[in-house]
Amino acid sequence: MSELLDHLMQEASVWQGRRAASQHLSVEATGHPELDHSLGDSGWPRGALSECLLAHEGIGELQLALPLMRRVTERGQMVFWVNPPHTPYAPELNRQGVGLDQVVVVRTEDDGDLLWTLENCLRSPVTGLVMAWPGRLTARAIRRLQLAAEAGDNVCLLFRAEKEAMQSSPAALRLKASPVSDTALHLDILKRRGGWPGQSCAIRLGDRTGLPEATAAESVVAGPWQGAGA
């Protein structure tokens, strides 16, 4: 059997989808080796939409984009946060090495403004990364966004609710993020342009809390708060 396979490979009579994938897509490494590997040694697609679907904030989703944010701001390009659900905390971004001069937070009032803003940001040569929390979008709006993303050469990362996974999307990459532990995030690749979906991986979120990993739990001073709250 393997002889037959070797023969076919040498003759180059079999199309090898895996290799073709990374050739024509312009990509930007995610900075997480596990994720890059699962994506066929590529990364975030440039000039296309990427979606990250998650149930709640606070599971480490920003860690996903942090290496890219660091890299983009070092290059002097801008990072746009459009309609973030909470306040991006400046001291921590600063501590993580993200250049705050290159970070801009934009808030829009309606979908029309949001699409327009994303289009303008994505088209500008000063932009490096656009992150957006668009809420519910119609299929038409996503299509328009995809076209806007294609006009520029930037990474556009949309954070959307988990239930949107059922809706079809023209995004080039769709990831579903789910929490595993405090130091890891599980990612399912739902869709990947030029490649097969279905892979999954876990990325390490080493310094998310800034604590040495071994200190968890033991360092907490036990007290009356156990079971408090509820």
Phi/psi at 64 (5° precision): -60, -40
Q: How many CA atoms lie within 13 A of 70 on its CB side?
A: 16
N-term to C-term CA, the chain: 61
Minimum distance from residue 226 beta carbon to other proteins (Å): 8
Q: Between 12 and 212, whose beta carbon lies closer to other proteins?
A: 212
Among 126, 139, 147, 151, binds other proteins (CB under 8 A): 126
Among 5, 14, 139, 220, binds other proteins (CB under 8 A): 220
Q: How many CA atoms lie within 13 A of 202 on its CB side?
A: 11
Q: DSSP letter at 218?
A: T
CA of 166: how far to CAs of 53, 126, 174, in Å?
A: 11, 34, 12
Q: Does 214 bind other proteins (CB under 8 A)?
A: no
The answer to whether 66 and 88 have CB atoms below 8 angstroms apart is no
Q: Does 76 bind other proteins (CB under 8 A)?
A: yes
Minimum distance from residue 29 beta carbon to other proteins (Å): 21
Minimum distance from residue 130 beta carbon to other proteins (Å): 12
The answer to whether 165 and 189 have CB atoms below 8 angstroms apart is no
Q: Does 57 bind other proteins (CB under 8 A)?
A: yes
Scan residues 170-189 and list those touching other proteins (CB under 8 A): 178-180, 182
CA distance 19 to 197: 15
Q: Does 51 bind other proteins (CB under 8 A)?
A: no
| Interface residues toward other proteins, by CB under 8 A | 55-63, 76, 78, 84-96, 100-101, 103-109, 113, 116-117, 120-121, 124-127, 178-180, 182, 207-211, 215-217, 219-221, 225, 227-230
